[in-house]
Amino acid sequence: MVEVAIAGLASTRRVWLATILVLSACSAVGGTQEVSSRYTAPLEGEALVEFEAGRAAADSGDWQGASSAYARAVELAPYSLEAHEAYLRTIRRMRSEAYRGSRRADRDSLGRVWSGVLEALAERYRAWGEIDPENALFPYIQALIYRDLDQTERSKAAALRAAELDPGFVPVWKHLGSVSEYLAEYEAARRYYERALELEPGDLGVLRGLMPVVYQSGWRELADHGERLVAVLLARGGGGDSVEASRHLMRIGMHAPDPEVKVEYYRRAVEVAPQEPGVHEGLYRILLQNRPEEAAGALRAAVELGVGTVSRTRYGWTTRYHRQMLLDLGRVLRQGGEPEAAASYLRDALALTEEGRVATELDHEVRRKVQYEMGLTYLELGDTARGSEELLAVLRERADTAAYGALVRLVEAQGGSAGDALRSVWERRLAGARPAADFALADIYGDTVRLSDFAGEVLLLSFWFPSCGPCRDEFPYLADLTRRLAERGLRVVTINGVPSQNDDVKPIIENYGYPMRALLTEDRDWALNNYRVSAYPTNFLIGPDGRVVSKPVIRDRADQAEVERWIESYYDYLQLTGARDRVASTMEVTR
């Protein structure tokens, strides 16, 4: 552990004290109004050897070896900021590695251990400060350690001691600015940062730190300081510097009170970093709010530029970002009377939703939005067949009211009715529907329940188990569905998929007054073998004919409302087509 390195430093206290006294006699102490250079002298001799050994150990992942070597470098060069920072940085890395390899259950105890280590290290630096009271490095490193411990007041107090010892020590003023900003002491933070800038006018770290501080004083202050930061960045001339400068320009523009000034700052951001799709997209958003007639051009530039960016990153965040821009541009162009151009961009967006990867729910959601826009675009182009196909693709998965409204208007324009639209939706949804597996399971009261008992009825079958948090979260929504759709004939049945928890099912159902019928299983693999359930909760909506209509997800009230719309629509379809009557008559003949 790092305590070895701490103890190693203490063991040579007398030798080190003599070294410090010699160094103190040769160096002027604090009080200067110029930048202090006493802590930035290059390492030499044995101290340099130990420092390089620490770096080599760190490069190989030997953090204990690195901390020991850096501790010896600190011992040999107590006025080297580089050595002290490397030592503290290594200890931080050791702590991080310890957390990374730990179990979640051990995090609290591990946190206490490392808090103790850091407290001991801070105390060691305090003791060294008593040995050499004129060395500003000791209270400064103490300040950094206290910040790691989230003891900001102690961190600030230690940094003030260091600043008193050496007013020309720039890192101390930067640290004081950061801590004061964290404490929401903005005026103090500003004074500290400005003191650092007096010493080093072009310090980027200080200029960046001041941005959120000056924002508290109003937009004019933010703009003045932001312009100064942008000028420093652009003077450096690096590609990354221009991108950062563009982001600061957008930040200034975002808070500008005048719409024209907003647009001007975003245009400057594009000029500074024309290679970044994000700044073009930012300009589009601002134009959409203030000059909508110019918005499509800005977004088109963002999209065209984004093509090269996407090609370098396979389905990362850049792809999703570009896909959203394509969707936005398609929508803007369609609404602006350019359906042919819109269709081209929307097809590109749809292609990005079909990359070779496991799609997330977000991907599915965006794909449905693209398909909806595609449907409207094809309709404006007069291609009603492809337009209705895209709308049906959306409606096959979701009870989307906007898509359904568009489909009804299309069908009615062709001489049909809302009933015809409903029929087409459910024919698409039911195409390829498979029969649900029959079962004979006991409920919590010992009665045997079979799937065939619900023939002719709509059944929502929910697989869960008592200790499953998401399952328990879903139960209130299932209960609401049961009560709200009872008059239409919906039946809701739950099946516990973990037999070892069967005894917990009845108390849950009865104590909470859930109206769902609860069934039990005796085989742990029953749900997997019969319904291919591998995750809980999993739901199946089963029609009167015993086929699986859908697998609804009910995570919140919005999901519940959509499932309710879906089921209501299904009942309307069954009534429209007489499907339930046909099932019932078949049952009579069979009997």
33 and 137 Cβ atoms separated by less than 8 Å = no
Range scoring the smallest mean pLDDT among 134-138, 192-196, 312-316, 571-575: 312-316
230 and 248 Cβ atoms separated by less than 8 Å = yes
Side-chain-side CA neighbours of residue 49 (13 Å): 3
Band of residue 307 on the pLDDT scale cut at 50, 70, 90 = low
* DSSP letters for 133-194: TT-THHHHHHHHHHHHTT-HHHHHHHHHHHHHH-TT-HHHHHHHHHHHHHTT-HHHHHHHHH
Range scoring the smallest mean pLDDT among 81-90, 267-276, 308-317, 346-355: 308-317
Which residue range forms the structural domain that includes residue 112? Answer: 3-168
188 within some domain: no
283 within some domain: no
Mean pLDDT (whole number) for 113-122: 93
Render pLDDT for 451-480 as a digit per residue (tens, 0 to 9): 999 989 999 999 999 999 999 999 999 999
The domain spanning residue 462 has which CATH number? Answer: 3.40.30.10
pLDDT for 581 beyond 90? no
Beta bridge partners of 434: none
CA-based R_g, the chain, Å: 34
DSSP annotation of 240 reads H
3-state secondary structure labels for all residues of 70-100: HHHHHHHCCCCHHHHHHHHHHHHHHHHHHHH
Question: What local confidence, expressed as pLDDT, does residue 590 receive?
Answer: 37
**Domain limit, last residue, from 168, 189, 213:** 168
Question: What local confidence, expressed as pLDDT, does residue 76 receive?
Answer: 93
Mean pLDDT (whole number) for 188-216: 91
Render pLDDT for 512-557 as a digit per residue (tens, 0 to 9): 999 999 999 999 999 999 999 989 999 999 999 999 999 998 989 9
Listed residue (93, 155, 78) closest to 122, CA to CA: 155
The domain spanning residue 160 has which CATH number? Answer: 1.25.40.10
346 within some domain: no
Question: What local confidence, expressed as pLDDT, does residue 314 receive?
Answer: 44
**Domain limit, last residue, from 168, 186, 205:** 168
Query: At a CB cut-off of 8 Å and minimum separation 6, what does 344 contact?
Result: none
460 and 564 Cβ atoms separated by less than 8 Å = no
**Domain limit, last residue, from 168, 186, 206:** 168
42 within some domain: yes
554 within some domain: yes
Band of residue 354 on the pLDDT scale cut at 50, 70, 90 = low
Range scoring the smallest mean pLDDT among 83-87, 292-296, 524-528: 292-296
Side-chain-side CA neighbours of residue 494 (13 Å): 27
Give me the chain's average pLDDT, please: 86
Band of residue 20 on the pLDDT scale cut at 50, 70, 90 = very low
> Does 30 or 573 have the greater pLDDT score?
573
pLDDT for 310 beyond 50? no
542 within some domain: yes
Question: What local confidence, expressed as pLDDT, does residue 232 receive?
Answer: 92
Mean pLDDT (whole number) for 317-340: 80
Beta bridge partners of 442: 448
225 within some domain: no
- As a whole number of angstroms, the distance between CA 266 and CA 247 comes to 9
Provide the number of structural domains found in the chain. Answer: 2
> Does 212 or 31 have the greater pLDDT score?
212
Residue entry with tokens 């404490």: 183
326 within some domain: no
